[in-house]
Amino acid sequence: MSDMKHTPLYDLHVELGGKMVPFAGYAMPVQYPLGIMSEHKHTRAKAGLFDVSHMGQVILKGDSYEAAALTFETLMPVNVLGLKEGRQRYGLFTNDQGGIEDDLMFANRGDHIFVVVNAACKEADIARMTATLEPSVTVTPITDRALLALQGPAAEAVLQAIAPGAAAMTFMDVATLDADGVELWVSRSGYTGEDGYEISVPADQAEAFARRLLTHEDVEAIGLGARDSLRLEGGMCLYGHDIDAGTTPVEGNLGWAMQKVRKPGGERAGGFPGAEAIFDHIENGAPRLRVGLTPGGRAPMREGVELFASAEGGAAIGRITSGGFGPTVGGPVAMGYVPAEMAEAGTTLYGELRGKRQPVTVTPLPFVAANFKR
C-alpha cells in the first residue's frame, strides 16, 4: 500500500492496531483489534471516533452567502439560499439525466459555504464546482485540515468537556469551537444514525486532538467496517452503491432532500442538471425505488444479490445494493432497488443466494431508529 495516500492520523491508526486497507486511494483502518461487531455496538452504546479525513472539504465563497448560494443551486435540486447561518443540509449533485453524481453536506458558515464530499468523488466534485461556479464563486479545497467524526450517545459529553459549546448545538447545527487553542469547525451530524459530531481540525493538530478524545474511557477508535454497518442500519446511502449516476433522487428515495422551492411550482423550481427527468419522476413516480430489505434467514445478503418476485421462475426484478449483518438488529439487513409496485413495506420478495431463493421482506428504513438531538 506504498502508493496509498495517508491521512494525518495514519500513524495513530497503525499504533492502535488498525487493519489498514485501500479505500478511495487512501490507506484506511477497516477495523481495530476490537473488531467490527464490538466497534459497532460500542458506537451505539457510548462513543466511536472515526477518521474521515479522506473526504473532501471545500469552501465556496462569493460576494455574499446569498450570491454563492444561488450559484451553488445551479448544481443541486436543493434549497441552498434558504439555509440559515449556522446550519447544515444534505445535498446532491445531479447530471443531465437526473442521476446523482455525488451526495454531500453543505453548511452556511456566514460568509462562505462549507462543503464535505465523498472521498471517491472529490476530484470530480471539485472540478465540477470549479468549472460551474467560478469566477463568481471561488472554490477552495481545504487540504490542511483533517476530518473526524465522534458518534454515539456519549459524544456530547465528551466533546463538551474539550470544546465548550458543543452541547448547545442541535442536529445539523454548525459552529466554530475552540479546544484549548485548536480551532474546530464542528457540525452536529454524522453517518451512523447516532447523535454526534463531525469535526474539521487543522491537520498538524489532528493527532493530538484525536488522542485527547481517545483518552476518554467512553471513546474507542472505529474503522470503516463498523462505519458501513452503522450507516446501513441507519438507512443511509453509500454513494456508488445505493445511489449513483444512474439513479435519480426520487428512485433513491431521497425526495426529502429536494425542498419545495426547487420542485415543480416552487419559486426557484428547476435550474439544476437533469431537472426535466427528476420532475418527471416527482410528478409521475419513478419506475423503481430504493427500499430496505430484511432477509428471512440468518444469512446476510450482500451487494449484487438479485431479487425475484416469486420463489421460482421469472426474471430478476431488482438487486441488493448494500447488505450485511446488522450487529444492533442482530441479523441480516440490506437495501436495494425494486419496481415501484413492489416497494410497499411488508412485500415478500426473494433474493437468490448460492443458487437458492430465500425470502426477503421490504422493510421501512431505517432499521435502527435515529438518535439525533433535534
Residues that bind other proteins (CB under 8 A): 30-31, 35-38, 40, 225, 229, 298-300, 302, 324-325, 327, 332, 354
Among the listed residues 181, 143, 250, 207, the one whose alpha carbon sits nearest the alpha carbon of residue 10: 207
Among the listed residues 278, 328, 316, the one whose alpha carbon sits nearest the alpha carbon of residue 36: 328
Compute the least distance from the CB of residue 334 to other proteins, in Å: 13
By C-beta, is 239 or 325 nearer to other proteins?
325
User: How many alpha carbons fall within 13 Å on the CB side of residue 315?
Assistant: 1
How many angstroms separate the CA atoms of 103 and 105, rounded?
A: 7
Compute the least distance from the CB of residue 39 to other proteins, in Å: 10
246's CB contacts (< 8 A; 6+ apart) are 97, 99
Compute the least distance from the CB of residue 332 to other proteins, in Å: 8
How many angstroms separate the CA atoms of 278 and 339, rounded?
A: 17
Residue 326, strand partner residues: 331
By C-beta, is 235 or 324 nearer to other proteins?
324
Compute the least distance from the CB of residue 362 to other proteins, in Å: 22
As a residue count, the chain comes to: 374
Compute the least distance from the CB of residue 304 to other proteins, in Å: 11
By C-beta, is 260 or 356 nearer to other proteins?
356
By C-beta, is 37 or 126 nearer to other proteins?
37
By C-beta, is 209 or 325 nearer to other proteins?
325
Residues 188 and 169 sit within 8 Å (Cβ to Cβ): yes
How many angstroms separate the CA atoms of 6 and 333, rounded?
A: 32
By C-beta, is 88 or 229 nearer to other proteins?
229
By C-beta, is 38 or 160 nearer to other proteins?
38
Compute the least distance from the CB of residue 326 to other proteins, in Å: 10
Compute the least distance from the CB of residue 298 to other proteins, in Å: 5
Compute the least distance from the CB of residue 1 to other proteins, in Å: 17
By C-beta, is 21 or 124 nearer to other proteins?
21
Helical ranges in 46-87 per DSSP H: 65-72
Of the chain, the end-to-end C-alpha distance in Å amounts to: 41
By C-beta, is 203 or 329 nearer to other proteins?
329
Compute the least distance from the CB of residue 30 to other proteins, in Å: 8
23's CB contacts (< 8 A; 6+ apart) are 30, 54, 119, 224
Compute the least distance from the CB of residue 149 to other proteins, in Å: 20
Q: At 71, is the secondary structure helix, strand, or coil?
A: helix
- Does the CA dihedral 356-360-365-368 come out positive or negative? negative
By C-beta, is 280 or 303 nearer to other proteins?
303
Tell whether omega for the bond before 249 is within 30 degrees of 0, i.e. cis. Answer: no
Residues 223 and 36 sit within 8 Å (Cβ to Cβ): yes
* Burial readout 105-117 (b: 16 or more C-beta within 10 A, e: otherwise): bbbbbeebbbbbb
Amino acid code (one letter) for 292: G
* Residue 276 CB neighbour total at 10 angstroms: 11
Q: Could you identify the residue written with the cell 486497507?
A: 21
